Structure 1
């Protein structure tokens, strides 16, 4: 019997939600020597600055935990989101996964993002941000008293006896998680 990968199913849920809101999925589970980024998504078009940008369009670099913009004459209007997905069961001990995004984890994600931009230089001038998706997972019981419906979820799905809820999507999360 194949074991269920709850984390991967949570990432799949977030991927579906991002696609339904206009994002293009460039990679799932992009990995390099520094680590792994769960989802790398691109938001194309005029809305890119509102949806995914952090400042003016232009060539940028990742330095000291923030994205630094360097304006250019680029006509590119897309933006990139490097998304960390945390899937947890109800009553978990680490605030839905928020506590797992330590400064060390953020550093690994920044380095991995830099490796992605090095591998795909055509994306290097896109505005970028680091997002966090909090997914709640609950086993579906045949007893209705054990199942709690969540009306506040952004998106939900049922897979293999589990219900997954996208509880929260935090754009530019590192800015709000640190200090």
Structure 2
């Protein structure tokens, strides 16, 4: 079996983000940015749509893509308080750079994606097959954590 360099393998994180992006778009979300970066960090997906009352809402989505049986509960444990603070600071910087969106209600969501080499039967919300991997959106947590952007 050949030992390939890391560049030979697909970016599993990007594939997980592709899956979540497709799912959000299929649920009428407009994707504004992918992997938006600033000095504080990176937000995987930033999207918006209007709620039932016609008010635009903005979501900052953290995508955690893991193989089955990962050590950190599929990525859930990776959203520690320190990560939440980092995401909030990054979101605050986004709103500073896009002041026309500064008054939108904001929410922090977390998407848990499972990545496998072969297709198995699951109760997935959404799935995608790419680059020899089978990805499933296992859980989408709306308002996964509360944190005030204003206090950053």
Q: TM-score, normalised by structure 2?
A: 0.88
Aligned residues: 140
Other structure's SS at 1:173 match = coil
Q: Which of 11, 15, 24 does residue 5 from structure 1 map onto?
A: 11
- CA distance in 1 between counterparts of 2:13 and 2:28 reads 23
Structure 2: state its 5+ residue gaps: 1-6, 147-152
Q: Which of 77, 86, 94 does residue 116 from structure 1 map onto?
A: 94
Quick check: which has more Rg, 1 or 2?
A: 1
Aligned to 1:67: none
CA drift of 1:3 comes to 2.5
CA drift of 1:90 comes to 0.5
Aligned to 2:150: none
Aligned to 2:4: none
Aligned to 1:106: 84
CA drift of 1:35 comes to 0.3
| 1:148 and 2:152 aligned | no
Aligned to 1:166: 137
Aligned to 2:128: 157
Pairwise CA RMSD: 1.3
Structure 1: state its 5+ residue gaps: 50-75, 141-146
Other structure's SS at 1:137 match = strand
Q: TM-score, normalised by structure 1?
A: 0.75
Other structure's SS at 1:108 match = helix
